[in-house]
Every structure is written in C-alpha cells, then in structure tokens.
C-alpha cells in the first residue's frame, strides 16, 4: 500500500513538473493578489500530456451551486487571439469556452441528481458574431461534389461551434480566491490596501523633495577658532 502511494506521488510530481505547473502558479499568484481571483483549468485529452492553464479575472466568469459555493456549475472563458490584437472588430478572433453541468434526466424523482459536464467551443469576432468556415460537400465515397453547371467544388458554410461531452460529472476547473472570507465567491484585492501605503510613501517623498528644493533643512553652523578681521 505504501508503494502505491509513493508511485502516485511520483506520478503527480512528474506531471506537475513536466507541465511547468509551479512556474505558472507563481505568476498566477501575483495576478490573484491584484485581480482578486484566477481560474485554474486542467486540459487532459487522450494521447496528449496533461496541461494546466490559468486565466485572469477579465478572461472568465463563473456560476456556483447556490447550496455549495465550492461547486462550479458554469464557467465561461474568452480570450483574444494574439495575432488579431489591434485589428478592427470584424477581423479579430476571439476563442470562447463554456463549461456547464447538465443534469441527467431520471425517471426516479427520489434518486440523487446526476450531472454531466458539457463543453462548448466557439470562435467569434470582436463584435460577438460567430465566425464561419467553408466545409466541402462530400459524396458517400468521401469525394468532394462539384457543381453540375460550373464544375466548381461545392461548400457548405458552417459556424465555428463545437459541443463536446467531457464524460465528467464536474467542471475541470477551480477558482482560486485571494484572502476569501467564509462563503466568499469573489475574493479580495491587495491593491486597495497597498494604495494607502503607496500614497503615503509618495506624499513623504514629495514633501522631502520640496524641503530640499526650498532649503528647509539648512542649519546655522558655529565655526570654532574663527579669526575675526578688524
């Protein structure tokens, strides 16, 4: 039993180290102290390494179970493609992920509710309109169909939306709050506390510079053994 526990610990350490978890967490800690909260997500696809990713407060919103604030019921993540920053709204590309717990239909009203996490991935522009792409029209043999008149390949315009069943009964994400109180779902920012100290420090420096400028620190000196000329 001890060997199994050690094997699991070794595996977890390997996964965390391989995915640069600790370096990312150090950066996320700074974001959390300023922005009140960060979102930690786990990305685990078959045949691919497990990855962790943090999102800052402007990039995500979330909802919790009204009876248990530690249970996420919905998480929305949206971020802009770096290659489209600075472009007009129509040319921008925004990636949006929505994770939501959906309750399974049960014929027994007395049974415990069962949930399934459904993920929706959508690509939009800067105005919130869903992007589209051209999908080729194929026949039963998988060959692309062409127009009988023009001979041009036929395409169907489809929206960039994909629904994914994660097969999980929970949302693979966790909201980390900075200095939360009991039942708090928002967290606390250290910026508010630091502003008073920063203002006090700035005022002190300003007063000191003004004192030097107007020679408020000058003092009279007594010169010993001075020779007075007639």
Q: What does the pLDDT look like over 89-107, one tens digit per residue?
A: 999 999 999 999 988 777 7
What backbone torsions phi and psi does residue 203 show, to the nearest 5 degrees?
A: -65, -40
pLDDT number for residue 198: 46
Q: Residues 108-116: what's their mean pLDDT?
A: 79
9-23, 114-128, 192-206: segment of lowest average pLDDT: 192-206
pLDDT number for residue 49: 87
CA distance linking residue 99 with residue 78, whole number of Å:
12
Q: Please give the residue that has the higher pLDDT: either 7 or 225.
A: 7
Q: What is the DSSP letter of 104?
A: P
* pTM metric for this prediction: 0.70
| pLDDT tens, residue by residue, 200-221 | 445 555 555 655 565 555 555 5
Q: In this structure, what token pair is assigned to residue 99?
A: 């994770």
pLDDT number for residue 117: 93
Residue with tokens 């800690």: 29
What b/e string do you get for 92-102 counting C-beta neighbours within 10 Å, with b at 16 or more? Answer: bbbebbbbbbe
| pLDDT tens, residue by residue, 53-101 | 999 988 999 999 888 888 899 999 999 999 999 999 999 999 999 999 9
pLDDT number for residue 125: 92
Q: Residues 13-33: what's their mean pLDDT?
A: 88
Q: Please give the residue that has the higher pLDDT: either 214 or 117.
A: 117
CA distance linking residue 133 with residue 155, whole number of Å:
9
Angle between helices 21-35 and 2-18 (to 10 degrees): 70
Q: In the predicted model, is pLDDT for residue 16 greater than 70? A: yes
Query: At 2, which helix (H) or strand (E)?
Result: helix 2-18
Q: In this structure, what token pair is assigned to residue 196?
A: 């008073």
Query: Would you list the DSSP string of 143-180?
Result: PBPB-TTT-PBPEEEEESEEEEE---SS-SEEEEESS-
- Short-list 115, 112, 85, CA closest to 103: 115
Q: In the predicted model, is pLDDT for residue 193 greater than 50? A: yes
Q: Order of strands across the sheet with 60-65?
A: 60-65, 68-80, 94-103, 115-124, 161-165
pLDDT number for residue 197: 46
**E strand intervals along the chain:** 37-43, 51-56, 60-65, 68-80, 94-103, 115-124, 132-136, 155-159, 161-165, 173-177
pLDDT number for residue 57: 85
Q: In the predicted model, is pLDDT for residue 131 greater than 80? A: yes
| pLDDT tens, residue by residue, 133-192 | 888 888 888 888 888 888 888 888 888 999 999 989 999 999 998 877 776 677 777 666
Q: In the predicted model, is pLDDT for residue 230 greater than 60? A: no
């Amino acid at each position: 039993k001890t060997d199994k526990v050690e094997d699991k610990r070794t595996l977890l350490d390997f996964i965390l180290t391989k995915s640069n978890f600790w370096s990312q967490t150090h950066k996320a800690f700074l974001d959390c102290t300023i922005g009140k909260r960060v979102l930690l997500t786990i990305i685990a696809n078959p045949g691919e390494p497990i990855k962790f990713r943090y999102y800052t407060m402007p990039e995500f919103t979330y909802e919790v179970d009204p009876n248990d604030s530690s249970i996420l019921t919905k998480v929305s993540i949206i971020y802009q493609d770096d290659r489209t920053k600075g472009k007009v709204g129509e040319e921008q590309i925004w990636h949006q992920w929505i994770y939501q717990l959906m309750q399974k239909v049960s014929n027994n009203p007395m049974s415990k509710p069962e949930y399934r996490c459904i993920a929706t991935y959508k690509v939009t522009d800067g105005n919130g309109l869903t992007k589209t792409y051209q999908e080729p029209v194929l026949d039963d043999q998988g060959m692309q169909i062409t127009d009988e008149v023009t001979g041009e390949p036929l395409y169907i315009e489809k929206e960039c939306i994909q629904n994914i069943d994660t097969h999980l009964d929970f949302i693979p994400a966790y909201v980390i709050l900075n200095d939360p109180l009991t039942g708090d779902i928002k967290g606390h920012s250290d910026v508010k506390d630091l502003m008073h100290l920063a203002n006090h420090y700035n005022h002190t420096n300003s007063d000191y510079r003004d004192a030097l400028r107007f020679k408020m620190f000058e003092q009279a000196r007594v010169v010993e053994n001075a020779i007075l000329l007639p």
